[in-house]
Amino acid sequence: MTDADLLARPQDVKEIQAGPKGRHKTVQVTVGNVKVGGGAPIVVQSMTNTDTADVESTVTQVAALARAGSEMVRITVDREEAAAAVPHIREKLDKMGVDVPLIGDFHYIGHKLLAEYPDCAAALAKYRINPGNVGFKNKRDSQFTDIVEIAIKNNKAIRIGANWGSLDQELLTRLMEDNAKSPNPIDARAVTREAMVQSALLSAKRAEEIGLPKDKMILSAKVSNVQDLIAVYRELASRSDYAIHLGLTEAGMGSKGIVASSAALGILLQDGIGDTIRVSLTPEPGGDRTLEVKVGQEILQTMGFRTFVPLVAACPGCGRTTSTVFQELARDIQSFIRDEMPNWKTRYPGVEQLNVAVMGCIVNGPGESKHANIGISLPGTGETPAAPVFVDGQKFRTLRGPTIAADFKALVIDYIDQRYGANAKVTAAE
């Protein structure tokens, strides 16, 4: 076979397409001041792990999550003390200027808490209920109805969230029995996936019958296995146009949780499925809860759906980069950018589009740096102790000496001020 044969393009080969598929069309839901679905940007949300009855600690964590970029925050409302605390949490957040919508997470006695604590029902922007935990047997329909009617009265949205670990057992049992009688039975795992989808859809239909419109409903069907999650959400999306919340439940701790969530959510988002996401990471003891917000943002940004913070490209290092200078500089620049973003968002419109490159040697350093808005190629082992800096594709300056890192950081700040400060002046003039 010749080179020409290898490069020839068969007639039946389609043009290579880059980028995600079109978004799955859903009905838009308003949650507080946030739009979900209907073509709105995919929303990142998180959940507190404080005792909601502890107003101060919950307010502190909600505010931290909001500052990190969580556009909605869910809080547990599991008992009377928690329900009583909700309006005080909302009031304190409002006084701090933190207007992030609060979502109440209800299980088992949500109907009772919402009825007995009307200020809680009013303070929340959305109620999250699980069809498997609303009630049991004869009480199920009445308690579900109570919650929906309270949502209608208060003009609130509801997320109907089926969960693999607390599935409607009556529905699952019926589907298992029907499957056993079928001439072509499917495996039990597939039946359970179908039960997840039906649980969400049947509950949504019932809510509509009670009077809750589609633009007040978000559905989810969360499991902890990546392949199951992909299968369930693809089926849910194919059978409805409700707004969809994505999340791999009990994703795990550290790299396992990050990788599993990224793999599952990445595939579904590429399919166009998902209007709001949460990355459910188990934090290290005393760990930073905001990590799950950052991971959610990075999934959306690296896939090209949204931009939140400037991207810092850095090489992984090899035998050519035995010095730790480029690693330390990449870390410092990344941390500096994240820390400054809350202030930069107001001062420098569009700064989240910035791309910075911190490269470790001559192999790919100059080339990658030219592709960034501003980049530096540090000297590798045995290379001339000089670091060329590139600005918008052109060599701008060469840094030398022990202050290379500090000098480059200063250049990044100058670049942001000159490029995005102009945007702020134009906005102010308009």
Q: How far apart are CA 24 and CA 237, in angstroms?
A: 7
Give the mean pLDDT of 112-131: 97
pLDDT recorded at residue 135 = 62
Counting residues of the chain whose pLDDT is more than 90, the rounded percentage is 65
Q: For the segment 8-57, what is each residue's pLDDT rounded down to a tens digit?
A: 655 555 555 555 668 999 999 999 999 999 999 999 999 999 999 999 99
Residue 134, C-beta contacts closer than 8 angstroms, at least 6 positions apart: 108, 110, 111, 140, 143, 144, 147
Mean pLDDT for 253-269 is 94
Q: What is the pLDDT of residue 391?
A: 95
Helix, strand, or coil (residue 37): coil
pLDDT above 90 for 172: no
User: Tens digits of per-residue pLDDT, 398-414?
Assistant: 999 888 888 999 999 99
pLDDT of residue 180: 92
* DSSP label of 29: E
In this prediction, residue 315 carries a pLDDT of 83
Task: List, for residues 207-252, the tens digit of each pLDDT value.
Answer: 999 999 999 999 999 888 999 999 999 999 999 999 999 999 877 7
Per-residue confidence (pLDDT) for residue 168, from 0 to 100: 81
pLDDT of residue 1: 55
Q: Are 220 and 245 in contact (CB under 8 A)?
A: yes
| Position 271 confidence tier, pLDDT thresholds 50, 70, 90 | very high
Cα distance between residue 94 and residue 227, in whole Å? 41
Q: What pLDDT score does 3 carry?
A: 60
Please state, in angstroms and rounded to a whole number, the distance separating the CA atoms of residues 337 and 75: 29
pTM: 0.88
What is the average pLDDT value for the chain, to the nearest integer?
90
In three-state secondary structure terms, 410 is helix
pLDDT confidence of residue 290: 95
Tokens of 339: 């820390």
pLDDT for 321: 79
3-state secondary structure of 75: strand
